[in-house]
Structure 1
Amino acid sequence: MQITNRGLVKAFITQHNSNYRKKMKLIFWIVCLLGTFLYGGSCLKVQYNGDQVLQIIPQTAKHAEYLQELANNWPLDLWRPNIPEGIQAGREVHIHIPSSHVNEMKNVLLQYDIPYSVLIEDVQQSIDMNMVHNKNMKAVSLNTYDYTQYHPMHEIYDWMEQIKENHNDLVTKLYLGETYEKRPIYYFRVGWPSEKKKKIMFIDCGFHAREWVSVAFCQWFVKELVSSHKSDAILAKVLKEVDFYIVPVFNIDGYIYTWTTERLWRKNRAPFNNGTCYGVDLNRNFDAQWCTIGASKNCSSNTFCGPSAASEPETKALAGLIERIKSDILFYLTIHSYGKMILLPYGYKDEVSKDHDLMMKVATKANEQMKVKNNNEYAAGASASVIGYYDSGSSGDWATDIGIKFSYTFELRDNGTHGFQLPQDQIKPTCEEVTTAILSMVEYVHDNYLENSGVALTAVWINMFISVICLYYTINL
């Protein structure tokens, strides 16, 4: 049967966009009024009651084309891939559908014979289940801080200050810069003081506001560093010659917005077009083939690359720090979710970095350690190959472009069952397995880059030389 797909899609979009805007405006004002009545303030949250996340698998190139057209013209929130161009035949597509359009979307999929299933039955219920938080907590205490719970930004600020105060022999809290909304961005330097210049392992979390498990991971990893160095001989040695630079929350404005207003917000909060749209995707804002592919110049898009490379104060601050210390950075690790992947450069082309084979060797070892820990492993490889589409302007690609040898992007759990609302009972196993992976990389640093590695290697050669001499005289005497 011949389907006039373009006409159907356009009619579908035209018919429902007007109703959608009216309904959303009504819902917005209802939420505002309820928020004012119940909490004595303004609007609290965007609601997602009845919204669903569908898993769709286009079977043909035509199916993929239909979905791309819908994604480009209809208010869909693409979760996987995050750009319409990434929709391909045979690859899973995860799309968040507003409740007012769920039935229409399903009907279109049925009419096109495109198979789908429901990943998340009710997005708001999923959010509510994962918003469990101890609101009565008056002050943060390291003794009671729960690393298996998601924390709002004011608690993370307090936590950072207490980490600094309680571990000031090992930890220094430093100022990175400020956000668009003038909030301070801090990072930790974790390592023993030394008169010698030290190597660096750089880790950042919370690029995308809604990826809460990323933020939870950085807190967990700091906890592991300050609590495990006394019992972990390798880590103790590494901390003498390597500093860990850790940014617990990079996109602070966006992260706060996900707690106060819109849980599924992704970008920062810079306004554009006289405030008609907000936010830049900070991981499309770096000078790595900026906005050439896999990014949008439309400020309403979730992948808006910004007006220029490094246009955002957050991006400028991070890039400025890394530029100053790049010659000392051994590893750059940026932590995201979801998808369970370890991504290597590049995202903007099919080529791989000159150190790809060595990077794959290190990533494979890290994966093996995760499998031992939780019988869980991540897909690993060049970003464009693993994800299946191109993107530009990422911090991981930029780090490689400026000469950092080992640059990895981690996409944490899960594979889509929960998406960005990863249940809190999965924070611990997620953080455990990724910590194991990164500590595997720490072992690689220990074995190949530290001074004691050279001493050990020299000792091996001396022992071999002595053994040969002894063997020679044994045979000839």
Structure 2
Amino acid sequence: MAQSTLSVILLIFNCFLFIESVPTPLETPVRYDGAQLWNVDLSDEQTRQMVFDLENEFDVSFWSTSHAEADMFLKKSAIESVRQILNKNNIEYSVRVDDMQKRIEEESSQLYGEESLYGNNNKSLTWDAYYSFDDILLFLDKLVEKYPNLCSLETIGYSHENRPLKVLKISNGNSGNKAIWIDGGIHAREWISPASVTYIVNDLVENWNNQPAYIQNVNWYVLPVHNPDGYEYTRKSDRMWRKNRSKNNNNHCLGVDLNRNYGYKWGGKGTSSNPCSEIYAGSGPFSEPESTAVKNFVETSEENFDAFLTFHSYGQWILYPWGYENHIPTEDRDDLDSAGRQAAKSMKAVDKQVYTVGNSADLLYAAAGGSDDWGKSVGIKYSYTIELRDKGRYGFVLPPKYILATAKEAHAFVFTFAQIIAAN
């Protein structure tokens, strides 16, 4: 009898062990069947206000905005109501994407995700595919292993979900070198950003001996994925996710917009105190581990950084501070504008793509708490946000066939700035 009882207890215990060992199923991916991307004309201030009021009234978000137009993302349930309002008020619009889910599936069918994992086939990144965060880390590790005298990795912090924030330093070790910071992927859905940044890294390292002196005499610091939790979430659960994955004090809406969480003029225009908003600024300046890690690294570094370059998408813009308020002049605005136009010229030479240069608040909209404003505020002269391809045909869901050309444009931008800095 005792033996029988013991057997039952062991059976129950083993069942619990089995249950504990079963992996938690992945969250069911969010689908966007019938969702559309519209381009809306903003002909005057009254129209602008009416269009932006739709965000609160319907399930609408704005992906790219300038003073003249806006790209508006609508879920299927909102389309007819918004259409009636725009038509009633004679507001012109066009449909850029007529079914976002189809566009996402087209993207996912083209060499990305589980079919092309660098870690599984032991090949290098190819820039005809979008890779996972783990593959990007492996890519960095292999560069350090292959070029230990040129490359080093430092973990500057950890994300909310405990992923490492790794900065690659590329340096010849010479004294008197300039210093440039580069980051990508602060917004999760902007996949072209980490892809372009890793391309730049690869060229710097693999072709180091053939690089000009103005490249070799720079200490390069590169954070390819500023928001790894959000990036992985877009790969597995919600392709359109923007923020990090912070719990927000158990609020049912997760995530903070890291590009509203930096401390300079935090909480001002172009931000939200609503945790459910895509531009939620967080509970306070630098409330997030990802933004805090960058702040602490830059502020405690022995380097006096000459440039702070942060890559985003989309819209093909080269933007410089200040962004926290409209019409606030920067002391060296002429220098920033001139350098930006020089870089735009180099980018156009790659594939004839036009990048518009200007102050972010003037060209687009005011947005406080941005990393570029913070970079400028701590004394980094050349602080820019670069919005990569495209201008709205694909938006955030840029097909892999455009990665290489876009990455080469980002590369041209960086090399132009290295040359400008060397001449100063």
CA-to-aligned-CA distance 1:210-255 (integer Å, 9 cap, x gap): 00000101110001101222223335xx42x321000010101110
1:445 pairs with 2:421:
yes
For residue 376 of structure 1, give the secondary structure of its aligned residue in structure 2.
Answer: coil
Identity of aligned residues (%): 30
Q: Return the match for 1:385 from 362, 387, 402.
A: 362
> In the aligned structure 2, how far is the partner of 1:209 from the partner of 1:419?
13
Q: Distance in 2 between matches of 1:383 and 1:263?
A: 26
Q: What amino acid is the match of 1:358?
A: D
- Asked if 1:165 corresponds to 2:145, the answer is yes
In the alignment, does 2:81 pair up with 1:104? yes
1:122 aligns with 2:99: yes
Greater length-normalized contact order (CA 8 Å, ≥ 6 residues apart): 2
User: What is the rounded CA distance, in whole Å, between the counterparts of 2:411 and 2:302 in structure 1?
Assistant: 23
Q: 1:347-402: CA deviations, max 9, x gaps? A: 11312221221222211211121222222221111111121x21100110111111
Residue 300 of structure 2 corresponds to: 324
Could you say if the C-alpha distance between residues 285 and 138 of structure 1 is closer, same or farther in structure 2, counting changes exceeding 3 Å? Answer: closer
* Structure 1 CA distance for aligned equivalents of residues 336 and 39 of structure 2: 32
Among candidates 69, 88, 93, match of residue 92 of structure 1:
69
The residue matched to 1:202 in structure 2 has which SS?
strand
Deviation per CA, 1:389-434, whole angstroms, max 9, x where unpaired? 2110011011111111111110101111111001111111111122
Report the counterpart of residue 48 of structure 1 in structure 2: 32
Give the match for residue 200 of structure 1: 179
Query: Is 1:76 aligned to residue 60 of structure 2?
Result: yes
Q: Which amino acid aligns with 1:401?
A: S
User: Within 1, Cα distance between the matches of 2:116 and 2:243?
Assistant: 28
Q: Evaluate the alpha carbon distance shift between residue 199 and residue 51 of structure 1 in structure 2; reply closer, same or farther with a 3 A threshold.
A: same
Instruction: Indicate if the aligned counterparts of 2:39 and 2:69 stay in contact, CA closer than 8 A.
Output: yes
- Where 1:135 maps in the other structure, the secondary structure is helix
**What are the within-5 Å matches in structure 2 for residues 264-413 of structure 1?**
264-325=240-301, 328-349=304-325, 350-387=327-364, 389-413=365-389
What displacement does 1:161 show?
Answer: 1.4
RMSD value, Cα: 1.9
**1:226 pairs with 2:210:** no
Deviates more, 1:312-321 or 1:368-377: 368-377
The Cα of 1:66 is off from its aligned counterpart by: 2.0
1:111-133 per-residue CA deviation (whole Å, 9 max, x = no partner) reads 22111110001101111111232
Residue 161 of structure 2 corresponds to: 181
Q: For 1:299-341, what per-residue CA distance to the aligned partner results, in whole angstroms no more than 9, with x for missing partners?
A: 1000000110011011111001111237510111011111111
1:137 deviates by: 4.6
Structure having the larger proportion of residues in helix: 1
Letter in 2 for 1:48: Y
Q: Unpaired runs of 5+ in structure 1?
A: 1-38, 449-477
Quote the residue 1:415 is aligned against.
391
Q: 1:306 to 1:192 in 2, by over 3 A?
A: same
- Give TM-score, length-normalised by structure 1: 0.80
Q: What aligned pairs does 1:128-139 form with structure 2 within 5 A after superposition?
A: 128-131=105-108, 132=110, 133=112, 135-137=114-116, 139=118
Shift of 1:72: 2.2
Q: Secondary structure at the match of 1:124?
A: helix
The match for 1:67 is 51
Instruction: Find 2:193's aligned residue among 206, 214, 221.
Output: 214
What is the one-letter code of the residue matched to 2:57? N
Measure the CA separation in 1 of the matches of 2:381 and 2:198.
25
- Give the secondary structure class of the aligned counterpart of 1:100: helix
- Contact 1:330–1:406 (Cα < 8 Å) also in 2: yes
Indicate how the Cα distance of structure 1 residues 180 and 375 shifts in structure 2: closer, same or farther if over 3 A, else same: same
Q: 2:88 is aligned with what amino acid?
A: Q
Output the CA distance in 1 between the equivalents of 2:118 and 2:353: 36
Using the TM superposition, name which of 259-268 and 123-132 deviates more. Answer: 123-132
The residue that corresponds to 1:15 in the other structure is: none
Secondary structure at the counterpart of residue 351 of structure 1: coil
* CA displacement 1:441-460 (0-9 Å, x = unmatched): 11122333xxxxxxxxxxxx
Count of matched residue positions in the alignment of Structure 1 and Structure 2: 398
Say if 1:40 and 1:300 are closer, same or farther in 2 by CA, change over 3 A: closer
Relative distance call for 1:40 and 1:154 in structure 2 (3 A) is same
Q: Is the contact made by 1:285 and 1:310 (CA closer than 8 Å) also made in structure 2?
A: yes
**Does the 8 Å CA contact 2:118/2:124 hold for their aligned counterparts?**
no
Partner AA of 1:170 in structure 2 = L
| Equivalent position amino acid for 2:38 in 1 | L
Moved over 6 A (4+): none
- TM-score, length basis structure 2: 0.89
Aligned to 2:236: 260
2:11 maps to none
